[in-house]
Structure 1
């Protein structure tokens, strides 16, 4: 299944956000990315510190995922730096692996033909120690050389480098090259990389990416691509459209034509039917029971071989056909996104207009007005968050009065983010490599069949008293006792039949027959198979999974 076809475009960007620790920046980053149809954003200077110093996966809302490596602490214990990737829902489906190289570089591989490699990086400033900058480019060059030559390689980052024009062959914002610019240019030439910012002829207003406090502008952020795929890039320029994120940098976006391919699912997940309707809706229960019974009887009459395996397969088939006609799908739980209000959307547009005036004419009046608009946006987010939390608190109180403890904890977990499904997986070079690692793990865990020889025979003495264990076929009383102990809402087996179907007790006659036939050594293959869902421990969680079947 192709996520993108060659006829379609994908937009990849790089953005120094300055920080993502305020209440409004991540929502604004996602809202603008959706508006401009961006799929991948290379993030610099997010300033989010992780105690574990590992990659952190954050559900950023609307299906977007923010993956960040930890920022660092300076001498005064202030958080600085940090790089990451913001991935759209369709980009995350194509993600194969992601790895942190150091605090300034991360690399991600995406499935496709060709495979796509994206590097997000953040270079030391032009006034930093030269050895530090040189070491950064040594590590980055070593990483680039390890990327397969056939891969489409894209590098996005804040390189703190100014490139001057070279005999009018490049379209740069600056006339002269600074120290970081020389190292940056040498890195690009050595690794046969094309600087996309300087490939297309643009007016000066489309080239600068950073504005100093005094109003002076510079071009510091760049996107690079390997020469082999330079014709895949159709455009690259800087935009003012992310002004509501509140950064002194501008986003640099490039339109790429390539093919990203999502991982093939090995199993088709069954539709999410709302099985609890069999408990709450008596009419639906009668309709489903009649439909299932009629379909099963029709299939059973056509069976040539009367054995439990065949009849059970017919029952499973009839079950799914009846469910598709009688059972409704589960209602989708749409999380209310606290930041999507009309007031916030209007304020976002006002900030963009104010930022355009400030960038074009940085007078004290325009700067002051832009700062006021920023404060208004932050305040709107705070008000909306307070309203959202108060609504949840009121619902918790109501659930508590109604003695719905499960709903209380579901709401608490939704607010706090507790018990969130892990979004990471075992590190590996490919899907097959990952499966082989799990195979070897379980092989070592379970071990081989022991080879026992020369064992003395131990005489077993009969029990002194007779045990009170019933033997022989099962009866209706035992079956009803077992069904009563079953809990609703539990996951079904590989046959997909949930407990709610059996607990109707309308199919006790066939179920009791199958249980007794299995007891008599006539197996049903659905009852002899299991499914292992491996969950790696925290220290092994390095990459995001594509499907739960892994």
Structure 2
């Protein structure tokens, strides 16, 4: 099953209807694929407060899908890095600028386009390429060419690797080469190369960069998009000189095989970052596709509401009232699976009524309404200046732009202060999950994991069939490996029974196990039975969990909900299976063994009994089990090292203290004293 771009409906007889790709002939308003809007924009800089926010919101308002970004001036140590918007609807994938924060190229895309992304590769600091799954596949090459005043050697350094890359792109792919070429294409090239350059050019003559660009198009069968559509001059220019003159330097090239898929190409003022360039966009009819997984039907409840005392009390009262009608006493003869199912249903109903389900995360409010209002006023002031071209209009525009930059800086500083306050509260309350999350957000170390599976050679599978073949080869090598009989270094069984309690779990043991369980754990199929629900359910919850644990302990029959197909069962079934060459292995999503929270509590009770100290010994670890790790002291710190002498003396004192506290056997104590005694005498003789 595949997912394409979102569908739109157009009215019959409209201008858009002429370009519609019908998805069905029986509908009065046939659904069509939304044209893919691909743009290029020289932002001049994103290394300034609020610039990325303006870019994300501007592209979202303008309905752009993919944007080639030049001169972002961001630095990263990796070949490519990702920068996500606050609402996770946009991502900027970029390569590093120079150490002096000059240049830098990147690719901005919406979240649903990012799902179709197959690979990203950095050619150099001026060239970046990305591939997208589709029918056909889409390849986008982002470039930032040297200026017209650059030397021929600098231009050759740019065009040579670009030509090498274009040679490797598959001819059937839709190939877009977009960016700031710093090139002027004139009408003279339409006369000499009418198959390459269209009749609608901005200039009359072509400069040196333009000639190089036309030669590149002719060699690799690329076509400039702007010259194919009749537009007024006001929709063609992409760069404004400080003197006010307008020029066309940004271009979007498409391979000739798919040039008829273009629907329009023009420049817009809709995305404003106070750059001297304008965004240039095309509409392209294509279908990008990605594998669509099954949606998760398990609800997520807002358990954070149980931190408030009134909500927690109401939750406990509702559970206590409804548990009274459950037949959970010892005289109940109904199967344990049915009673556990009723227990799940009750907890789910109460959770939905009291705490409710989690709502989708919205845009964080670090950008205030005042800043958003200033942004709108700034954009309107610039449009007014471009129309009237008066000194007063320019002053108003520049003043609003200065106020907007200051407002962004103030908002970001206030956001950092709020994060620091939340960090201090989380640290004081021992909420280390939130603590490290805030630290990673502030330090910029937060990364979104890339879920795409790669082959063993590092490449990305181009199809599901190739991915299944890779999994088959992997499991063939894993399962058909004969390593001989299994060996184990485990000690032999104990000669006598260990002093471990074998009685049914007590109510106090169940209570301690529930309180000791960590929160924010992944749930199993019983999605409402979480650690937060057990800890917030009060004594009524502890009592019913205790009853289930006692019944499982005595009758050795757990509920069916606790017995799930898991990775361990799958591994056991596959251990003796030989995968033949003509067989196909299909992977399945499996549920981990310990995803059910109640079985966690049951196992914690058993584990606590094994680790219970008796006479300052743990039965599971002492010599009654026939195993004890040999003590040693030679691997802590060598006295021939160059560490300070005080540090060496501290190590010896620590070892002597450990010998007196931990070591219980007399022979071991003598051995420890021999290990540390010579060093202690040597240190005492030092004049220190």
| TM-score w.r.t. length of structure 1 | 0.78
Relative distance call for 1:315 and 1:110 in structure 2 (3 A) is: farther
Equivalents in 2 of 1:314, 1:289: separation in Å?
Answer: 14
Relative distance call for 1:253 and 1:312 in structure 2 (3 A) is: same
Equivalents in 2 of 1:267, 1:392: separation in Å?
Answer: 33
1:57-116 Cα deviation digits (max 9, x unpaired) = 11232322111100124xxxx221110011223222332322222212222222333332
Equivalents in 2 of 1:58, 1:246: separation in Å?
Answer: 21
Matches within 5 A, 1:274-353: 274-275=302-303, 280-288=311-319, 328-330=356-358, 334=362, 336-353=364-381
Give, in angstroms, the shift of residue 472 of structure 1: 7.2
Equivalents in 2 of 1:257, 1:292: separation in Å?
Answer: 59
CA contact (8 A) 1:163 1:182 kept: yes
Q: Which residue of 1 aligns with 2:287?
A: 259
CA contact (8 A) 2:416 2:442 kept: no
SS of residue matched to 1:120: strand
Of residues 12-21 and 129-138 in structure 1, the stretch that sits farther from structure 2 once superposed is 129-138
Give, in angstroms, the shift of residue 219 of structure 1: 1.0
Matches within 5 A, 1:353-432: 353-354=381-382, 357-358=385-386, 361=389, 370-393=397-420, 399=425, 403-406=428-431, 409=435, 412-413=438-439, 416-417=442-443, 420-425=446-451, 428-430=459-461, 432=464
Equivalents in 2 of 1:302, 1:41: separation in Å?
Answer: 66
Give, in angstroms, the shift of residue 218 of structure 1: 1.7
Of residues 228-237 and 336-345 in structure 1, the stretch that sits farther from structure 2 once superposed is 336-345
1:20-72 Cα deviation digits (max 9, x unpaired) = 1111321211222122111211101111121x242111123232211110012
Q: Which residue of 2 aligns with 1:467?
A: 498
Q: Which residue of 2 aligns with 1:13?
A: 39
Q: Which residue of 1 aligns with 2:630?
A: none
Give, in angstroms, the shift of residue 526 of structure 1: 2.0
Q: Which residue of 1 aligns with 2:51?
A: 25
Of residues 483-492 and 467-476 in structure 1, the stretch that sits farther from structure 2 once superposed is 467-476
CA contact (8 A) 2:75 2:96 kept: yes
Relative distance call for 1:292 and 1:199 in structure 2 (3 A) is: farther
Relative distance call for 1:445 and 1:418 in structure 2 (3 A) is: farther
Equivalents in 2 of 1:127, 1:276: separation in Å?
Answer: 61
Matches within 5 A, 1:43-192: 43-50=69-76, 52-63=77-88, 64-73=90-99, 78-165=100-187, 166-167=190-191, 169-192=198-221
Relative distance call for 1:296 and 1:438 in structure 2 (3 A) is: farther
Of residues 467-476 and 53-62 in structure 1, the stretch that sits farther from structure 2 once superposed is 467-476
Equivalents in 2 of 1:149, 1:347: separation in Å?
Answer: 43
Equivalents in 2 of 1:440, 1:417: separation in Å?
Answer: 41
Q: Which residue of 2 aligns with 1:229?
A: 258
Equivalents in 2 of 1:412, 1:26: separation in Å?
Answer: 20
Q: Which residue of 1 aligns with 2:301?
A: 273
The correspondence for 2:4, drawn from 2, 5, 15, is 2
Equivalents in 1 of 2:139, 2:240: separation in Å?
Answer: 30
Give, in angstroms, the shift of residue 197 of structure 1: 1.3
SS of residue matched to 1:487: coil
CA contact (8 A) 2:66 2:110 kept: yes
SS of residue matched to 2:201: coil
Equivalents in 2 of 1:394, 1:82: separation in Å?
Answer: 35
Give, in angstroms, the shift of residue 329 of structure 1: 1.1
Equivalents in 2 of 1:122, 1:527: separation in Å?
Answer: 53
Q: Which residue of 2 aligns with 1:452?
A: 485
Of residues 285-294 and 132-141 in structure 1, the stretch that sits farther from structure 2 once superposed is 285-294
CA contact (8 A) 1:57 1:424 kept: no
Give, in angstroms, the shift of residue 220 of structure 1: 0.9
Relative distance call for 1:139 and 1:45 in structure 2 (3 A) is: same
Give, in angstroms, the shift of residue 233 of structure 1: 1.9
1:307-348 Cα deviation digits (max 9, x unpaired) = 86x886787677667755665113555453333424543444
Give, in angstroms, the shift of residue 179 of structure 1: 1.5
Question: How many residue pairs get matched?
Answer: 516
Does residue 34 of the first structure (1) align with residue 63 of the second (2)? Answer: no
Equivalents in 2 of 1:24, 1:337: separation in Å?
Answer: 13
1:416-446 Cα deviation digits (max 9, x unpaired) = 1556243435654237567877898899899
Relative distance call for 1:276 and 1:409 in structure 2 (3 A) is: closer
Q: Which residue of 2 aligns with 1:526?
A: 564
Relative distance call for 1:9 and 1:522 in structure 2 (3 A) is: closer
Equivalents in 2 of 1:267, 1:208: separation in Å?
Answer: 45
Relative distance call for 1:349 and 1:236 in structure 2 (3 A) is: farther
Relative distance call for 1:262 and 1:292 in structure 2 (3 A) is: farther
Higher relative contact order (CA 8 A, sep 6+): 1
Of residues 18-27 and 384-393 in structure 1, the stretch that sits farther from structure 2 once superposed is 384-393
Does residue 510 of the first structure (1) align with residue 554 of the second (2)? Answer: no
Relative distance call for 1:489 and 1:415 in structure 2 (3 A) is: closer
Relative distance call for 1:342 and 1:488 in structure 2 (3 A) is: same
Of residues 63-72 and 128-137 in structure 1, the stretch that sits farther from structure 2 once superposed is 128-137
Unaligned runs of 5+ in 1: 533-546
SS of residue matched to 1:80: coil
1:395-430 Cα deviation digits (max 9, x unpaired) = 667x38x94353983784376155624343565423
